[in-house]
């Protein structure tokens, strides 16, 4: 279903996580005489959040006794057994806020609806958030069914249907929780530990530098509590690996941690250690002399020093392999959906001794790997791609020399901007000729998934697949603009501003339709349609959901429900969310 972000049918509540430490929350009434469960649940929630719950005007003496028995041991809790007075709103609060209470919950009998009205309007005047049970017209906020990790990791999951089904919201919440990895507590705790360590160690010096004397903000990679505020459009910002500034050097671990959180298999995040962020920076003279293997060395590597990049491969060269010859295959895993994985690729995954995977291979594909199969995921993060490639090649060569079956699992197709040709030559030159299994390339699959016919009579008669990031971060040679062509740019969204500027300089039509297709074939697929000239600001506004491709051409409009040519400055894009997966029983394929 297309979602027009600028024309929502009704205003939806702004969902926030509120701090309640030491706040006074006033509960007026305790519900109907036969049930006090709602009141008790709210008191538990307030106490867990560090607040001070005060109950005024309990519905019955029995309710007051129950509350005293259950919560009387908490110093922050109290019950006032008398009728409610409007003056309670301005006399029971903290001295810090002139005795005004911080939040009000009302649960009074139907017969006292007039009092509910009075309390609501008085709270409005005093700007006190108020919730009146089962009366949205007398409420400025509502409580949301929330799951809190019982192991204390800090993870909370809340779901709301905004009044369309309170039972349904609870069911959806339970369904989400049931699909979490069993070790989710350890995952959250470990990521928090690493984030704190890295920020404390790497940012300590930066906080004293001149940069922060003018701009005290920390980089937007999930630092702090505003989890929706990190600048995701800069997530894959180009970092010239061997030309990093001192500031980029100090921030590289922060950037890599954010990439690990986004790309690595969820259940493996609990095993990531601080040492995994360390990279060998030098090697010994002996190691240089004993180097038995010439690796793939780019000019950038030579600038840093050939010996640095060859350390791991040199060590592999010293080993003596077994009598059994290892074998290797380069396998394309497709865009992400299991339904788009070839049978040959699945066979290789199921029979591998070790799998070397790109970070972009999605969780659904990695879940197909047998639990006993070793899995190594490349650390190809911005500023670490060349080193990570060397590490991956060394791991593959070492496994081959041990006589293992190695599967190099690549997102999309191995030969479409995937270094497949380089890796083929590397292993071939060392006596191991890889088998290569093609995969459905995201460059063409994503057009189909976004309802874009890459070619169609009278609209598009040719397709061009182009990279947005060349060697050492350079822009590609800008192709000419052809009206009847569909152009697909890979690895371009992280530098959309630079790319689009160059396209327009080279005569591209600024009003040609463009589509940003992210996480193609995955459940969280997102397709955003706009015009070429607006792509950079649209990317900045909607953020990034990598991996993604940019599709440019009239074909973007061919099957669209809404002609993006009619968009305007006040409404620059439309979004289509989600992908319905085709169910595939992979186990039955091998019976």
Question: Is residue 446 a contact partner of residue 549, using CB atoms and an 8 Å limit?
Answer: yes
Residues 6+ apart with CB under 8 A from 225: 17
Can you tell me whether residue 574 is helix, strand or coil?
strand
* Burial status of residue 583 (CB atoms within 10 A of its CB: 0-12, 13-18, 19 or more): exposed
Residues 6+ apart with CB under 8 A from 562: 2, 529, 574
Residue closest to 376 by CA, chosen among 391, 363, 362: 391
Token reading at 550: 């940019």
Token reading at 85: 């007075």
Q: Is 99 a catalytic residue?
A: no
Residue whose tokens read 């290789």 = 348
Instruction: Indicate which residue of 102, 107, 358, 413 is catalytic.
Output: 358
Question: Is residue 393 a contact partner of residue 399, using CB atoms and an 8 Å limit?
Answer: no
Q: What is the chain's alpha carbon radius of gyration, rounded to the nearest angstrom?
A: 29
Instruction: Indicate which residue of 173, 379, 395, 554 is catalytic.
Output: 379
HSE-CB of 435 using CA atoms within 13 angstroms: 13
Residue whose tokens read 């090649």 = 393
According to DSSP, residue 520 is labeled T
The rounded Cα 65 to chain-centroid distance in angstroms is: 48
Question: Is residue 332 a contact partner of residue 413, using CB atoms and an 8 Å limit?
Answer: yes
Tell me how far apart the alpha carbons of residues 326 and 225 are, in angstroms, rounded to a whole number. 49
Tell me how far apart the alpha carbons of residues 68 and 54 are, in angstroms, rounded to a whole number. 12
Q: Is 379 a catalytic residue?
A: yes
DSSP 255-311: HHHHHHHHHS-GGGGGG--GGGG-------HHHHHT--------HHHHHH-HHHHHH
Residue closest to 253 by CA, chosen among 270, 233, 276, 230: 276
Tell me how far apart the alpha carbons of residues 73 and 92 are, in angstroms, rounded to a whole number. 20
Tell me how far apart the alpha carbons of residues 204 and 190 are, in angstroms, rounded to a whole number. 21
| CB atoms inside a 10 Å sphere around CB 486 | 26
Question: Is residue 493 a contact partner of residue 548, using CB atoms and an 8 Å limit?
Answer: yes
Task: Return the beta strands (E) in 37-136 as ranges.
Answer: 52-56, 78-80, 103-106, 130-132
Can you tell me whether residue 555 is helix, strand or coil?
helix
Token reading at 419: 């270094």
Tell me how far apart the alpha carbons of residues 265 and 373 are, in angstroms, rounded to a whole number. 15
DSSP 120-142: HHHHHHHT--EEETT-GGG-S--
Question: Which sequence positions are flagged as catalytic?
Answer: 358, 379
């Amino acid at each position: 279903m297309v979602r027009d972000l600028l024309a929502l049918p009704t205003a939806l509540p702004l969902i926030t996580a509120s701090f309640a430490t030491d706040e006074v929350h006033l509960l007026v009434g305790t519900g109907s005489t036969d049930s006090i469960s709602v009141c008790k649940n709210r008191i538990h929630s307030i106490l867990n959040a560090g607040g001070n719950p005060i109950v005024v005007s309990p519905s019955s003496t029995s309710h007051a006794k129950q509350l005293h028995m259950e919560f009387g041991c908490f110093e922050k809790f109290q019950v006032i057994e008398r009728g409610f007075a409007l003056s309670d709103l301005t006399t029971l609060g903290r001295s810090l806020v002139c005795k005004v209470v911080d939040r009000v919950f009302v649960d009074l009998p139907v017969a006292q609806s007039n009092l509910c009205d009075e309390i609501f309007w008085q709270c409005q005047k005093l700007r006190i958030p108020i919730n009146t049970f089962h009366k949205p017209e007398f409420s400025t906020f509502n409580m949301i069914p929330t799951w809190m990790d019982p192991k204390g990791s800090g993870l909370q999951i809340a779901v709301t249907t905004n009044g369309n089904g309170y039972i349904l919201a609870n069911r959806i919440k339970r369904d989400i929780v049931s699909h979490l990895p069993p070790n989710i507590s350890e995952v959250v705790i470990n990521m928090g530990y690493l984030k704190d360590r890295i920020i404390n160690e790497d940012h300590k010096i930066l906080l004293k530098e001149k940069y922060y004397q003018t701009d005290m903000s920390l980089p937007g990679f999930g630092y702090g509590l505003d989890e929706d505020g990190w600048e995701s459009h800069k997530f894959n910002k180009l970092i010239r690996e061997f030309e990093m500034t001192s500031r980029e050097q100090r921030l590289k671990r922060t950037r890599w941690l954010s990439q690990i959180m986004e790309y690595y298999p969820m259940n493996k995040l609990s095993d990531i250690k601080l040492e995994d962020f360390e990279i060998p920076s030098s090697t010994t003279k002996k190691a240089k002399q004993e180097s038995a293997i010439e690796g793939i060395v780019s000019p950038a590597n030579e600038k840093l020093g050939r010996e640095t990049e060859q350390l791991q491969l040199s060590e592999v060269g010293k080993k003596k392999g077994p009598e059994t010859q290892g074998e290797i295959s380069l396998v394309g895993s497709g865009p992400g959906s299991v339904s788009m994985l070839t049978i040959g690729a699945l066979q290789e995954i199921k029979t591998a001794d070790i799998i070397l995977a790109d970070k972009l291979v999605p969780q659904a594909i990695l879940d197909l790997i047998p639990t006993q199969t070793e899995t190594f995921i490349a650390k190809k993060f911005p500023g670490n791609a060349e080193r990570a490639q060397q590490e991956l090649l060394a791991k593959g060569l070492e496994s081959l020399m041990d006589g293992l079956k190695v599967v190099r699992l690549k997102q999309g197709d191995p030969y479409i901007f995937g270094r497949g040709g380089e890796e083929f030559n590397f292993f071939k030159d060392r006596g191991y000729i890889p088998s290569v299994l093609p995969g459905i390339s995201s460059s063409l699959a994503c057009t189909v998934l976004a309802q874009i016919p890459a070619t169609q009579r009278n609209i598009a008669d040719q397709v061009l697949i182009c990279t947005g990031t060349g060697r050492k971060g350079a822009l590609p040679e800008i192709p000419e603009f052809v009206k009847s062509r569909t152009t697909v740019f890979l690895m371009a969204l992280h530098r959309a501003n630079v790319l689009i500027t160059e396209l327009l300089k080279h005569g591209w039509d600024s009003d040609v339709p463009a589509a940003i297709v992210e996480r193609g074939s995955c459940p969280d697929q997102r397709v955003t349609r706009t015009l070429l000239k607006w792509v950079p600001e649209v990317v900045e506004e909607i953020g990034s959901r990598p991996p993604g491709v940019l599709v440019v051409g009239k074909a973007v409009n061919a099957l669209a429900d809404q002609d993006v040519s009619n968009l305007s400055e006040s409404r620059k894009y439309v979004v289509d969310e989600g992908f319905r997966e085709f169910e595939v029983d992979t186990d039955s394929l091998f019976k």
